[in-house]
Amino acid sequence: MFDVILNISLVLLFFTLSIFLIAVTFPTIRNFVRGKKNDDENPDNIARRMAEMEGRIASLEQQLYASKEMHIVVNEKEEQSKQLLNLNNLKIKAASISYISSQVFEMSEGGDSRIKVIHYTGTNKTDSVYSTFDAILEQLSGNFMQINKNQIVNLDKIHKVQGSEIYLAGTSKPFFVSENRKDEFDVRIGKIN
């Protein structure tokens, strides 16, 4: 769909550029055909018109570049929204995940077991899976980051950052970025914002 929008944008851009060039050259051609001398033959006027044309062409090139950049970003977001996380036969849309936490449960036979609890955006629903953070992160795109020993967050869901504390959309409690992950976090969040 976005390829169609990009192609339409390109056609409109080239159509606009063609109309512009015709409009700029038409008075000169008309005066030449009629045999009239034109003030535009003055070197100062020609230089001014050329500078205006170059400025307009540069503006159109910037619009085209911005359109291509938007197309790339939209395609990346569309791919991320389609991404599925497959854990313990549970298929989860990655874009719906707000954060993943690790929790310890005592086993009746003794010892403990660490499970991962997946928290979704805009709901209290959670899913529990037996997995490691490394296995989970292998399936997720670059929008997710382990911020401390017990949590992975969806960087797209970050609402506010205050030092080492982050707040996710729809949550009131802060999440803490560990000291050894702070530099990587700052770099990653800088790329997203």
Radius of gyration of the chain (CA): 28
| 153-160 contacts, C-beta under 8 A, 24 or more apart | 153/98, 153/99, 153/100, 154/94, 154/95, 154/97, 154/98, 154/99, 154/121, 155/188, 155/189, 155/192, 156/80, 156/95, 156/192, 157/98, 157/99, 157/121, 158/189, 158/192
Angle at 168 between CA 162 and CA 169, to 5 degrees: 125
How far is it, in rounded angstroms, from Cα 134 to Cα 136?
A: 5
pTM over 0.75: no
DSSP β-bridge partners for residue 112? 106
pLDDT mean for each 10 residues of the chain (193 residues): 69 74 65 57 76 81 66 51 68 84 71 74 83 84 87 90 88 90 88 53
For the chain, give every domain's residue range: 2-82, 84-192
Q: What is the pLDDT of residue 176?
A: 94
CATH code of the domain occupying 84-192: 2.40.50.1020
Rounded Cα–Cα distance for residues 25 and 146 (Å): 60
